[in-house]
Structure 1
Amino acid sequence: MKLNWIISLVVVVMGMQGCRSLSVKKQLDETLLRADQVGAGEMPLEPDKIQSPFTAWKVQRPTFPMRHDTAGPAENIQAKLDQLAVQGGGTLVLKGHHHTGRITLKSHINLKLGEGSVLEFKHEINDFLPVVFTRNEGVELYSLGACIYANGAENIAITGSGRIIGPGEGSVRNKTMTHDVIENIVDSNTPVDQRIYDGKTADFIFPPALIAPINCKSVWIEGVSLERTAFWNIVPTYCEDVVIRGVRIHSMGIPRGDGIDIESCNRVLVEYCTLNTGDDCIAVKAGRGFDGLRVNRPSENIVVRYCFSEKGHGGFTIGSETAGMAKQVYVHDCVFGKTNVGIRFKTRRPRGGGGSDIHFERIRMQEVESALRWDMLGQAQHVGNQASRDFEVQKNALTPRFSDIQIKDIYIDAAKNCIKIEGIPESVLENVSIDRVFGRGDQYLSIKDAKNIKIKNSVFLCKDTSISTTNVLGLIQDRVRVITESP
């Protein structure tokens, strides 16, 4: 065990060790929700009120003009939507199997997928032209946008029980930019209206998400199932008052197939969703690098509850592109199944950002590689030498930072690493409280570059009970019991 600049306090009441350890495990296992109690199949008709330690707002189902239309497989969906918009809004109900290019929603319209309906998107670049303003991996540009797109709309909804299927094999997928990271491709000094990627200005495009409203207010997405996306699935960007509930997402095997990515939004509720994804299940983002700093819009006032992240890279992730910061995020009463990481905090030195005032509580993890993971450096393939903590970097505008994080009432059934922290030397992770955790795993605790980390009232059953530390100041363990579990 390395001890570099570490203050460690362990308080254990000897006569209560067994009682206390059994009590924490039993209490958490009996009180935390299980997989069959969360997710899309358990969604109630209406959302409960928001119970956040940071803020409160009223969740109110949107209403639309009493004007209804239907669209069958042979009818033009966009023409029907445009007609409703001219009339002042209403509801368009899809029936049957549709095969279409990009759809653009306008204000006061509910796109409802009727029972058994399928909305399948075409697969050629021409099906998504002309290019539209969008944000791709945290960088503003003009490209294909989204399969279901809206810009500057108010009071819009996508509801129903039908399926939404992304593009199949074609130029959309074949010409997707994959050869580099986006900040090396899109020059942050180029005016946004000149960042055009239509498959002609360059031999690649930035692919469409499935659903991505931008600059919208009052967005409601409920009940639909999403599959075969070409990119991220649901991506509200620069939006206010967003509700995403009862959605099923399947993108297993799809690179960058994130489930729900919240991009620089204010007041977002995500609840009762079931996710099986090719990347992170639910993530909070806020812009990338210098372009994200220019925009400087945080993601804030976010509540995620009663979701089942069944499979994916991360059950819930903040980052890695958060130049505008993530603030006042509250995640509770969720279950993470076989995800690579349970709760993950990601930054990268060249991308900036991070977050503060972040709370997690009442989370059950079934089988994860890392349960509580801070990964602030990244991999060399993405950020080069800056992925090494031994590569000296002076503080600058893109220096990431995470602080003021509370994690409470966590049950970890199986993990390779229970707690693994990798901060950065020039901006250490600060002020983290971890309370009432039962964790079963291979390794208990590894910390690099952190300050004021408190773990209390917890029990860990691990094969490796050692504590590995590098550049840690103020590690406090209060009523923590670490028990060796035989391999």
Structure 2
Amino acid sequence: MKTKAFLFFAACEIIAMNHSIAQQSKYSWDNLPVIEKPEFKKDTFNIINYGAKDDGVTLNTISINKAIMTCSEKGGGVVLIPSGMWMTGPIVLKSNVNLHISRSALLQFTDDKTQYHLVEGNFEGHRAVRNESPISGTDLENIAITGNGIIDGHGEVWRAMGKDRVTEEEWEQLTKTGVVSSDGKTWYPSESYAKGAKEVAQTNYTEGKTIEDYLPIKDFFRPNLLVLSGCKHVLLENVTFENSPAWCLHTLQCEHLTFDNVKVRNKENAQNGDGMDIESCAYVKVENCTLNCGDDGICIKSGKDEEGRKRGMPSMYIVIKNNVVYHAHGGFVIGSEMSGGAHDIFVSGCNFIGTANGLRFKTVRGRGGIVENIFIRNINMRAISGDAITFDMYYFTQKPKIEQRGRKIELPVADITTPQFRKFYIQNIICDGATRGILLRGLPEMPINDIHIDNATIISKEGVEIAEAHNISLKNITLHCLKTPALIHIENSSNIHFDNLITRPLPKTLFNIDGDRTKNIVLIHPPKLEKRISNRFSYGAKQTALTIVQ
């Protein structure tokens, strides 16, 4: 046990760490970024007046695009999709146009893939060949998609499917068409897709090739349902977007972007079925939205590897509040394509129900980019199958076991390709059910730094894992962990402060501390223990690395 003086100085250090975050952020909870909405003339352009028919069969591509073009050329207004089922091919938005989908309208995109041309686009942070998106817009100002209707991307005709992701009856129905892989585990919608899947290394856009060179594998390049690139003053409001071929809503390098009461509905087994991918955008608000996704829910990105670093456009000044995410790989996510960085992001009042992870931050060596000044509070989670809170710098790679490390392995040196997660402030978290409560897994050459979690109650099978991290503060944390012999595992980390830790039931081991680089682990106001709880020290960790202050 240490003196009260030690306790005082430890508390001062934590306060100073928290203060440094507030000082370095341009905004705060009391001074949130202001996002401007577009404004439109009241003139209305009904697509029926341009020859559109609501029989669910007639292809209305020309009629809808003509109405949009005419509206824009006349100074803007509302293009009305009235009651009915409207079949169409790709729609291209224009400036000053509000595409309004009536409550009883279904805008159904065709399953005829010949209607979608191959174009140069962007996917997963790289310049890429893609099929034309069902809805797109580039370098526009004052645009919106509003109304309470439905936009359906007919994604089932584009996506491959694993046998392990459907029932036997569904698999039998799928395999009546398309192509099954040689191992019998994957269904492809066409020969063109199957050929593309075998030539995956050739699918990114390559200098010297033309679009025509990719035509034999055209079907492999699934479009995102909505892509807006380089647009300013954008509003997506009330509409339901569903059944996307790949990502659902992809906004790239946009400014003053608002998602309000948007619904995203993708099947749980939808390949790359992300909800919102907000990439290199500034001044963004996402509020009152409901998502059910096949991949990540609300996801912040900023380009991948060298391309993202050269673009150098972080996602920044973003407010995300009062949203619900049901099935998704992560409720709120940053990464893994975050090479341009991200900062000044505020997330509050969200519910994550049945997601694989709750708060998910992921990257890997080679990305580069700095993610910092991320403020999160008042998050409720239930039935999380993975981690309630996860920071992982080994995304899609294998972290070496501690016994495999040491002098025999030369660790990388940090450089421009080394990603950074730092200055996160997370408070008021409740999670009823997860496999693991908290994971913080950094790199030896770049530890996760300055992470502050305050007021969290987590019910999970496993507790907390911290590896390669520095300056971590966990205050007022209650852990109900049912199946873990060691509640908290710490590996090669330093300046880790716990204040007022509560645990039920009592674990056999409170701390499992590994690594000769682990030091200054401080537990202030430890849980009241009814019996002696052991702490374990392995792989060079010393008992002096841990200080307990009553």
- Determine which of 427, 432, 441 is the counterpart of 2:460: 441
Helix, strand or coil: the match of 1:235?
strand
- Determine which of 241, 261, 280 is the counterpart of 1:226: 241
1:246 and 2:261 aligned:
yes
1:216 touches 1:240 (CA, 8 Å); kept in 2? Answer: yes
What value does the CA root-mean-square deviation take over the aligned residues? 2.7
Distance change >3 Å, CA 181–CA 337, structure 1 → 2: farther
- Determine which of 108, 111, 136 is the counterpart of 2:96: 108
CA offsets per residue over residues 276-309 of structure 1, 9 Å max, x none?
1101111000001111112111100111100001
1:411 and 2:430 aligned:
yes
CA displacement at 1:151 relative to structure 2 = 0.2
CA displacement at 1:273 relative to structure 2 = 0.6
The list of structure 1 runs, each at least 4 consecutive aligned residues, that deviate by more than 6 angstroms after superposition, is 385-389
CA displacement at 1:64 relative to structure 2 = 1.1
> Which residue number in structure 2 is paired with residue 200 of structure 1?
215
CA offsets per residue over residues 343-385 of structure 1, 9 Å max, x none?
01100213333511101101011111210111111224xxxx7
Helix, strand or coil: the match of 2:328?
strand
CA offsets per residue over residues 197-224 of structure 1, 9 Å max, x none?
7841755543211111100000000001
- Determine which of 224, 235, 240 is the counterpart of 1:209: 224
Q: Residues 359-374 of structure 1: matches in 2 within 5 Å? A: 359-368=375-384, 369-374=386-391
CA offsets per residue over residues 239-280 of structure 1, 9 Å max, x none?
000000111111122011000110000000000011111011
CA offsets per residue over residues 212-239 of structure 1, 9 Å max, x none?
1100000000001111110111111100
Distance change >3 Å, CA 304–CA 180, structure 1 → 2: farther
- Determine which of 148, 153, 166 is the counterpart of 2:153: 166
Counterpart code for 2:320: V
Count residues with an aligned counterpart. 431
Counterpart code for 1:445: V
CA distance in 2, matches of 1:353, 1:240: 20
CA distance in 1, matches of 2:212, 2:241: 26
CA displacement at 1:483 relative to structure 2 = 2.2
Distance change >3 Å, CA 185–CA 200, structure 1 → 2: closer
CA displacement at 1:113 relative to structure 2 = 0.2
> Which residue number in structure 2 is paired with residue 23 of structure 1?
none
CA distance in 2, matches of 1:260, 1:128: 22
Distance change >3 Å, CA 415–CA 386, structure 1 → 2: closer
1:197 touches 1:205 (CA, 8 Å); kept in 2? Answer: no
CA displacement at 1:139 relative to structure 2 = 0.9
- Determine which of 499, 503, 508 is the counterpart of 1:478: 499
Helix, strand or coil: the match of 1:82?
helix
CA offsets per residue over residues 28-74 of structure 1, 9 Å max, x none?
xxxxxxxxxxxxxxxxxxxxxxx943954444542212311112452
Counterpart code for 1:336: F
Higher alpha-carbon Rg: 2
- Determine which of 341, 344, 348 is the counterpart of 2:357: 341
- Determine which of 332, 344, 347 is the counterpart of 1:331: 347
CA distance in 1, matches of 2:288, 2:356: 21
1:313 and 2:300 aligned:
no
CA displacement at 1:181 relative to structure 2 = 7.1
Distance change >3 Å, CA 168–CA 197, structure 1 → 2: farther
Distance change >3 Å, CA 178–CA 259, structure 1 → 2: farther
Distance change >3 Å, CA 117–CA 387, structure 1 → 2: farther
CA offsets per residue over residues 415-446 of structure 1, 9 Å max, x none?
11111122111111000001011111111111
CA displacement at 1:146 relative to structure 2 = 2.1
CA distance in 1, matches of 2:462, 2:246: 34
1:316 touches 1:344 (CA, 8 Å); kept in 2? Answer: yes
Q: Comparing both structures, which one devotes a greater share of its residues to strand?
A: 1
CA distance in 2, matches of 1:387, 1:70: 61
CA displacement at 1:143 relative to structure 2 = 2.7
- Determine which of 131, 138, 141 is the counterpart of 1:151: 138
Distance change >3 Å, CA 448–CA 168, structure 1 → 2: closer
> Which residue number in structure 1 is paired with residue 179 of structure 2?
none
- Determine which of 65, 68, 84 is the counterpart of 1:81: 68
Counterpart code for 1:470: E
1:214 touches 1:237 (CA, 8 Å); kept in 2? Answer: yes
Distance change >3 Å, CA 180–CA 276, structure 1 → 2: farther
1:88 touches 1:108 (CA, 8 Å); kept in 2? Answer: yes
> Which residue number in structure 1 is paired with residue 115 of structure 2?
127
Structure 2 gaps of 5+ residues are 1-5, 8-26, 54-59, 161-188, 509-550
CA distance in 1, matches of 2:314, 2:248: 21
CA displacement at 1:403 relative to structure 2 = 0.4
Distance change >3 Å, CA 197–CA 439, structure 1 → 2: farther
How high is the TM-score relative to the length of structure 2? 0.73
CA distance in 1, matches of 2:158, 2:493: 50
CA distance in 1, matches of 2:134, 2:151: 9
Structure 1 gaps of 5+ residues are 1-9, 12-50
Q: Residues 254-265 of structure 1: matches in 2 within 5 Å? A: 254-265=270-281
1:379 and 2:396 aligned:
yes
CA displacement at 1:460 relative to structure 2 = 1.3
1:440 touches 1:460 (CA, 8 Å); kept in 2? Answer: yes
1:197 touches 1:206 (CA, 8 Å); kept in 2? Answer: no
Helix, strand or coil: the match of 1:79?
helix
> Which residue number in structure 1 is paired with residue 473 of structure 2?
454
Helix, strand or coil: the match of 1:397?
coil
CA distance in 2, matches of 1:455, 1:101: 52
Distance change >3 Å, CA 129–CA 203, structure 1 → 2: closer
> Which residue number in structure 2 is paired with residue 17 of structure 1?
none
